[in-house]
Structures are given as structure tokens and as C-alpha cells.
A = this chain, B = another copy of it.
Amino acid sequence: MSPAGRFFEDFTVGLRFRSPEPIVMSAERIKAFAADFDPQPFHLGDAGPDSFFGGLVASGWHTAAVAMRLLVDSDLGLCGQGAGLAVESLRFARPVRPGDWLRLEGVVTEVRPSASRADRGIVKFQTTVTNQRNEVVLDASHVIVALRRPAPSRGA
């Protein structure tokens, strides 16, 4: 992708994208995220082997945030020329534990012009985050708005 990112015209149904390199989930980052945003015992490191997950697991919202980073770093080409409208489903398929490394891949599923704004359109895509054992940990269906490429300015 160009540094300017992908505009509405550049999205096509079936377009596939993937993250360039995995992100490793460390115990420190899992606990730090939880202290800020999801202070439950199994995300803070305060849950033992008899607890719900049998030990420390990442907040699903931490995994979702890491998925966003993998998405921004991917060749989907998001960099400020569009914005998320909604997530139509988000499934926390499997716990994420310290030392897991995560990668993302996805596919564009729908592309249509906006009914109300001529300068933009709606793009839908699905993403799947997998761990180092190729197990799905998160999948999601996203809806974004993407701007059309600006018309070239005319010379004098």
C-alpha cells in the first residue's frame, strides 16, 4: 500500500490482508492493560489454577486492541482516510495467555457507496486472530466508512 492508505475505490470484495509480523502477549502487558481497563483477578495475575481460566489470561478487550494494531500494521491500508462505524460481531473464541503470539488475517466482504454522502462509502470486512498454534482466539466482522480519493486539483 502507498503511505497514504487505501481509499474507497481501492477496496474490493475478496481482497485479503494480513498482519506483517506477530505481536507477543507478555504477562506484564496483560496485567498493565487489566489494571487500566479490566481489573478482574484472572487478568491481573491474582487467579490461581482453580480459577475460571486456571491462571492469567488477557482481557478480551486487550486482545481486541492488539487485533486493531495488527490491522493497522496490515496491508489493508488504514491510516486516517476512514473510520470504524461498528463491529457486527466479536467472538472471544479462546483465552490468550502470556507468551502467546498473535497474528491477524482478513477479507473484505462488502463494498458499497454511501446512500447519503457522495464523498465516501461503506466497507465491511472480517478478521481472524490466531495464536502460535494456529488456533483462533478472536474473530470479528467490521464496518468502516472510507473516503473516496480526492479529485486531482486543476492547474491554473
A residues engaging B (CB < 8 A)?
A: 33, 36-42, 47, 51-53, 59-62, 64-66, 68-69, 72, 78-92, 147
Contact = CB atoms under 8 A, between A and B. Distances in A.
Contact of A65 (B37, B83, B147): B37
A105 to B, nearest CB: 18
A121 B37 CA distance: 25
A145 to B, nearest CB: 9
A66 B40 contact: no
Number of copies: 2
B61 A64 contact: yes
Residue from the set A53, A88, A90, A92 with the largest chain B CB neighbour count within 10 Å: A90
B38 A69 contact: yes
Given A38-B69, A52-B83, A60-B84, 10 more contacts: A37-B66, A38-B65, A47-B80, A52-B80, A52-B82, A53-B83, A59-B65, A83-B92, A87-B89, A89-B89
Contacts of A37: 65-66, 68-69
27 contacts: A36-B65, A36-B69, A37-B65, A37-B68, A37-B69, A38-B65, A39-B69, A39-B72, A40-B72, A41-B79, A41-B80, A51-B80, A52-B81, A52-B82, A52-B147, A60-B83, A60-B84, A61-B61, A65-B65, A85-B91, A85-B92, A86-B89, A87-B87, A87-B89, A87-B90, A88-B89, A89-B89
